[in-house]
Amino acid sequence: MNAVDSVPAVREVEHKFQVHGLYRLPELVDGELISSVDEQDTVEQETKYYDTPDLRLAREGITLRRRTGGHDAGWHLKLRVPDESPGVRDELRVPLTDGADGTPPTELLDVVRPITRRDPVDVVVTLRTTRTTNVVRDASGRIVAELVDDLVRVVDDSGRPVAQFRELEVEERDGVAPRLVEQLVEKLTGSGAVAGEMVSKAVRALGPQASAPSEVPEPADVGPGEPVRDAVRAYLARHTRALRAADLAYRRDPEAGAEPVHDMRVAIRRLRSGLRFFRPLVDRTWADELRDELKWAGKGLGELRRLDVLIARLERQAQAVPADLRTDDLSHIVLGRSHEEREQARAEVRALLSADRYVDLHAQLVSASNAPPTTDAAEQPGREALPALVRKAWKRLAKRAKAALDADAAESSGGPGASDDDWHQVRIAAKRARYAAEAVAPVLGSDAKALARQVERVTDALGEQQDAADAIRAIRELTASADAPASFTLGFLYGAEQERIATVRRRFTQLWPKVRRRKWRRWLTS
């Protein structure tokens, strides 16, 4: 299976509890919320957990295992769900036959490739579990949760038990009433069960190394009086983590939507922009080489993102065409070819994410997040070094914006006016200025945040122009293969997009004087 081909995922919501060996379940039936708790069966399971030698997956809260025995035998990859509690995870499952020789299936390894990269993934611990399953029914008799009681034995390579522990798990079913779960948890904790951290059995068995911090550190809080090298490191860590999260989201479900691709591109763009912004503070050769690799990856994602945006836009605009101007083949002409191109772009993204070069880029970013090679200038306090860098980015934006506005103003006197590319360059400069202000905001605070918000208004406006210009280019190409009625309708779409561009430029003329007010930039010279 190729990288990022979809593997069905099951969303699970669990609550874990540690209990001692003589613990007994309390009476859980109350006749109101819980009508019965019925023991189903007791099975023997063997579970082998796989990881890199430094337990990189466990440290990310990811579980890769091979389980035999019981109804859930198979290969399982468990992943945290962003913005959810630790007990909510997605489980990707494939049958045991996909890794009959004990080697983890490629379709699961591909999902976590940015983390494991080229390092071997092998068995790190084996557990043998005696599992007793109880089903919990609500007042209507419907099964709403499973309560499992696990006696877990850690075994060595010879199969000899070397440690033992016991834990309970409550797994919610769809539609369970929150109050029922709360009551269940209260009764268990009230009887001596200890609500534990949401860690896998493997983490408990492997000990402290398995719960060590991620290889990409949490960005540190950096004050304005601290060396600016700390701000560089925190910035790189923040956006490396964002890239990794977006990459995993895409690999988990490539068909889920366009957002993960967008998020990957944003993270890459911010990393590139940050390395450019911090250039006086880091080793120039190192930064340029890393920026080149990021540029390569961003370009590889760019076509898919462009087509995602274009198709969504054309679908929306086609719906706005008056009914008497629509033709039966409009959707086919407008969208059919674009969808074909998007499938090709998806194939190219699969190839990109599978490439050793891309995997190596993640390794470079891990290193950069921990110890970027900084210069002596990076020893200055942030309050001294950073404002001047933001000021430089702002001046580039101001220069580009003035040139575009002057060209458009001269158009009434016979001048050519600013081109779409001229405005695109303003947008690029605005993004760099915005990213610069956002880069220093964690260090310098509210003034930098306020400037970033103002420049964001520019990037939002000019982003709309860029999307309209891209749509116009696509409509021109589509018109060449359309029949006369469809060409007429495409001409309607063309005119609508031209009017949007004109509207954005008029809006920018009103917006720019507000954004460039001195009050947003006083801190740059203080």
User: What confidence score (pLDDT) does residue 484 get?
Assistant: 60
Q: In the 3-class helix/strand/coil scheme, how is 44-90 assigned residue by residue?
A: EEEEEEEECCCCHHHHCCCEEEEEECCCCCEEEEEEECCCCCCCEEE
Instruction: Reduce the DSSP state of residue 136 to 3 states and report it.
Output: strand
CA distances from 239 to 64, 115, 263, 366, 435 (A): 25, 15, 10, 11, 12
Q: What is the pLDDT of residue 11?
A: 87
What is the number of other CB atoms lying within 10 angstroms of the CB of residue 197? 10
For the chain, the farthest-separated pair of C-alpha atoms sits apart, in whole angstroms, at 91
pLDDT of residue 1: 38
Structure tokens at 56: 């990189």
Structure tokens at 177: 């009433």
379 contacts: CB under 8 Å, gap ≥ 6: 227, 228, 229
Q: How far from 320 is each of 58, 325, 492, 493, 496, CA to CA, in Å?
A: 50, 10, 10, 9, 10
**Residue that is written with structure tokens 């004109």 in the block:** 502
Residue-level length of the chain: 526
SS3 content of the chain, % helix, strand, coil (to 5): 55, 20, 25
Q: What is the 3-class SS of 492-510, one letter each residue?
A: HHHHHHHHHHHHHHHHHHH
Neighbours of 376 (CB within 10 A): 8
DSSP 12: E
The pLDDT averaged over each successive group of 10 residues in the chain (526 residues) is 62 92 94 92 95 96 94 93 84 90 93 96 96 95 96 93 95 94 95 84 91 94 96 97 95 84 95 96 97 96 89 78 63 67 90 96 98 96 96 96 91 77 93 96 96 96 89 81 67 86 91 95 86
Rounded Cα gap, residues 258 and 246, in angstroms: 11
**Upper half-sphere CA count for residue 473 (Cβ side, 13 Å):** 10
pLDDT at 519: 95
Q: Pull the structure tokens for residue 284.
A: 């120039």
Question: Which stretches of 320-419 are DSSP H helices?
Answer: 330-331, 337-354, 356-370, 382-411
The per-residue pLDDT for 70 is 87
d(CA 452, CA 308): 27
Distance CA 323, CA 272 (A): 46
Sign of torsion over alpha carbons 474, 477, 479, 482: negative
Burial of 258 (C-beta count, 10 Å sphere; 0-12/13-18/19+): middle
CA-CA distances (angstroms) from residue 351 to 26, 252, 359? 54, 16, 12
DSSP 215: S
What the block records as the tokens of 475 is 């409509």
- Let me know how many helices (H) and strands (E) the chain has, helices first: 15, 9
